[in-house]
Amino acid sequence: MSGFVPAMWSTWGAVVLIYVVLHLYRSRLTRDEEDQIFLDDSFSHEQTAQAAIIAKVNKIEPLVRGSLWLVGAASLFVVVYYVMDIVKQFN
């Protein structure tokens, strides 16, 4: 069991790192996104740029949500492992 705990923490750290990288990438994409744009024919390049940003964000959003669920599951696994260890020590 001595190699299990470092592997568990390494896996948790890797999952958290993946989530952080995806979150930062999404934040970087949305940095240039406008909340409100008044579009007419002279701003078609802006409309195209905003549509490209939205497409990229929509493409990465399921990965961000999935990695968040993985972080939650890995964190729950770590907590349950230590709670079970504490219970086992008192028996």
Q: Per the domain annotation, does 38 fall within a domain?
A: no
Radius of gyration of the chain (CA): 21
Q: Per the domain annotation, does 58 fall within a domain?
A: yes
Using the predicted structure, report yes or no on whether residue 1 has a pLDDT greater than 60: no
pLDDT of the residue at 53 = 83
Over residues 13-30, the pLDDT tens digits come to 999 999 999 999 998 888
Q: Judge if pTM exceeds 0.85.
A: no
Over residues 27-44, the pLDDT tens digits come to 888 876 665 555 566 667
24-to-28, 39, 64, 66, 77 alpha-carbon distances in Å: 6, 29, 10, 15, 25
Instruction: Supply the range of the domain harboring residue 56.
Output: 4-33+46-90
Q: Per the domain annotation, does 27 fall within a domain?
A: yes
Taking the C-alpha atoms of residue 91 and residue 88, their distance in angstroms, rounded to an integer, is 5
Domain tally, the chain = 1
Can you read off the two tokens belonging to residue 86?
């504490």
